[in-house]
Amino acid sequence: MNIPVAQDAAYVAPQLLIDGEWIGVEARETSPVVNPANGRVVGHVPHATAADLDRALAAAEREFPLWRKIGPRERGRILKRAADLMHERGDAIARLATLEMGKPLAEARIELHVATEELEWFAEEARRTWGRVPPGRFGETRFSVHKQPVGPSAGFSAWNFPIGNACRKMGTALAAGCPMIYKPGEEAPASALAVARCLVEAGVPPGVISVVFGVPDTISRHLLASPIIRKISFTGSVPVGKHLVKLAADSMKRTTMELGGHAPVLVFDDADQENVLDQSVQRKFRNCGQVCVSPTRFYVQDAAYDAFCDGFAARAKTIRVGDGMDPDTMMGPMVHGRRRDAIEALVKDAVAQGARLLAGGERVGNEGFFYAPTVLADVPDSARIMSEEPFGPVAVLNRFSDIDDAITKANHLPFGLAAYAFTQSVARIHRLADDVEAGMLGINSFNISMPEVPFGGIKESGMGSEVGVEGLDAYLVTKTLSIT
């Protein structure tokens, strides 16, 4: 099958942003940026040198006292202006994200809208980072509790939501009064840089944000070894997150770790099965399954299981796979060949161990990194895909008998980012709310995130939260003041 692939749109050459200067690829090591829909190189991303990183660190240290003194009201105005610029340039920024990592253009536009909402929310919430004044109890002594910016920070994120991750990392730090050195994924640099450009043009002073690229371990080791950095925020895999926490521990840096998941979905027999199927297929194959909270392990109660399998497979087979620039595309390619190879290996292993392949299970097209929406049923626990996060377009379907069985299956992995359940029973909902181990639990919906609520996991899925007041508080230190 040949997939029509649109011609590459105009691509903005990636640069480094260091102390207000935009720096190109001249006389530097670079890595290619590849359009995953056709495998063609569309640009090259420059790698930061040790000297570049030292310059970014020095700028962050220099600007921290000035940026924190600007105050949350003016910082909020700058963030809102940046959000307005992103709206004005929305189509161009969304096209960059589609070109770099393959998601359908409609999904990239949604990502941009959500990202700007988060910028706007932090712009407003930063004005409410006050402490408290407790009643005195020692004569004339008065106590107060103050919230202050923690200091220069470092942010690292994956490539799957290049617009949203950039807004979330830089926006939160800036709102709290903290400079940030941000390293996005090298696979999708231009869309993250477009966010940074909006922030700079909105009035963020030179040096308050820097954006760097390079070999991830080299960049992270250099930044985390510096005493200038007081806080790190990471979105990515569990192994890398553990590595960064160990590096941060040497100097007791604050950490927020939003790591991988393997989200269970518990479907009880009293749920509206057609509605659950419609929601599940849409969310499973969103962003080609390359989402940390993607529903993956579907456990369906015995009485509903067979019909659910049939309905899921039938819907998966109707998904139109193609170039994200094509308005008819429902699912784009995987970000690169390595991810496609990993998914292919997991599916083959599951089938070899007895899983039933109900849909997909094959590459699509002659170019690019396309893989068909895939549905597996009756997958044994010994299959790798039952314990390794697939991070791709594969749904795994198994059955359960009762609520105890369902909860045991949902909780048996070391991950605990997102989980979902569908039932009309109030008693079950209360039981699930108490006993399912996850940082986020969606009941009768996959909608688990908005700017006002924390986003984060438990167990090996991370520590701390992003967005919500909790996300802002992660960039603030608490000081108790006693005055007599």
CB 142 within 8 A of CB 136: yes
Q: Single out the residue of 123, 56, 59 nearest to residue 86, CA to CA.
A: 123
What distance in Å separates the CA atoms of residue 327 and residue 361, rounded to the nearest whole number?
Answer: 25
What distance in Å separates the CA atoms of residue 292 and residue 159, rounded to the nearest whole number?
Answer: 12
What distance in Å separates the CA atoms of residue 47 and residue 219, rounded to the nearest whole number?
Answer: 9
Q: How much of the chain is helix, strand and coil, in % rounded to 5?
A: 40, 25, 35
CB 263 within 8 A of CB 413: no
- Return the SS3 of 258: strand
Point out which residues pair with 45 in neighbouring strands: 31
Residues known to be catalytic: 258, 292
Residue given tokens 């730090």 in the structure block: 173
What distance in Å separates the CA atoms of residue 379 and residue 297, rounded to the nearest whole number?
Answer: 10
Residue given tokens 């207000």 in the structure block: 20
> Which tokens sit at 439?
């940082």
Residues 6+ apart with CB under 8 A from 25: 13, 14, 15, 44, 45, 46
What distance in Å separates the CA atoms of residue 404 and residue 399, rounded to the nearest whole number?
Answer: 13
CB 3 within 8 A of CB 39: no
Burial class (CB in 10 A: 0-12, 13-18, 19+), 470: middle
